[in-house]
């Protein structure tokens, strides 16, 4: 009797955990992994994909861009039930005046 109970628990618990997960509202390929715009200013770029450690269903496509002036942009898209994105921009030179027009070119 105890062996049967253990077998039921071992087989039933993983299935119960899967049943609690909801399906994503946004599909896996929602973010098109295209080259970044303004290719003349881009030295290199890389797309990577991953999943959140806590919420396994959440997809995280990330675009890393290295510009010819040495600046780096990291754009992370997070989506499953919600869509959110985060942009981090790292400047190569730390001039006092931040010229947004110069960064965009």
Phi, psi for 43 (deg, rounded to 5): -85, -40
pLDDT of residue 19: 42
**Cα 78 to Cα 52: distance, rounded to the nearest angstrom:** 9
pTM of the predicted structure, to 2 decimals: 0.63
pLDDT digits (tens, 9 = 90+) for 73-93: 999 988 887 888 899 999 887
pLDDT digits (tens, 9 = 90+) for 10-22: 665 554 444 445 6
Residue 29, pLDDT > 60, answer yes
Comparison of pLDDT for 7 and 100, the residue scoring more: 100
CB contact at 8 A, 69 and 92? yes
pLDDT of residue 16: 43
Mean predicted confidence (pLDDT) in 52-62: 77
Residue 50, pLDDT > 70, answer yes
Q: Which DSSP symbol is given to 96?
A: S
């Amino acid at each position: 009797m105890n062996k049967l109970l253990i077998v039921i628990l071992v087989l039933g618990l993983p299935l119960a955990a899967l049943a609690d997960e909801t399906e994503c509202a946004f599909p896996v390929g929602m973010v098109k992994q295209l080259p970044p715009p303004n290719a003349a200013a881009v030295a290199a770029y890389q797309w990577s994909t991953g999943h959140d450690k806590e919420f396994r269903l959440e997809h995280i496509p990330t675009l890393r861009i290295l510009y010819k002036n040495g600046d780096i942009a990291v754009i992370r898209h997070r989506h499953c039930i919600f869509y959110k994105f985060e942009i981090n921009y790292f400047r190569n030179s730390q001039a006092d005046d931040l010229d947004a027009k110069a960064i965009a070119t």
